[in-house]
Every structure is written in structure tokens, then in C-alpha cells.
Amino acid sequence: MPYHIKTPGKLTTGDVFWKGNNTWTETYADRIQFANKADADALKATTVTSNGYTYSPKWWANSTVVEE
């Protein structure tokens, strides 16, 4: 079963879906699909280190990995 990542839309009603390249889309068909849950979880767990401080970008804060 494929997986995708979604999060509640901030400027729109409903969910937005991870499209890749640091972008989200409202179009379900444009979402990135992952072959396994581990790959989607790894991307969702991405951290950034800047000036010695490591954090998780805000766009992952409310996101969930969904099995299709």
C-alpha cells in the first residue's frame, strides 16, 4: 500500500498534501506517494540545523502519514 503525508490547510479549508521540493498542494493527485511507511516517516522526521540549533520545520508539526 502506498502512503502520503498530509496536514491541515492554514489558508484553506481541508487538507494539503506534500508535493515535494518544500511545497504542499491542495490537489490530491499531485501528492508524493511513498512505497513504504518508513520513507514517509523519515521525511516527516526531517530536522534542520542552523547556528548550532537543531529543529523540526513548522510545516511538519501537524502533518500525518496516511496509508492509502
What nine digits make up the cell of 12? 484553506
Domain residue extents for the chain: 3-67
The gap from C-alpha 54 to its chain's centroid, in whole angstroms, comes to 18
Q: What are phi and psi of 51, to 5 degrees?
A: 55, 35
pLDDT in tens, 18-30: 999 989 999 999 9
Rounded to two decimals, the pTM is: 0.85
Residue 62 has pLDDT above 80, yes or no: yes
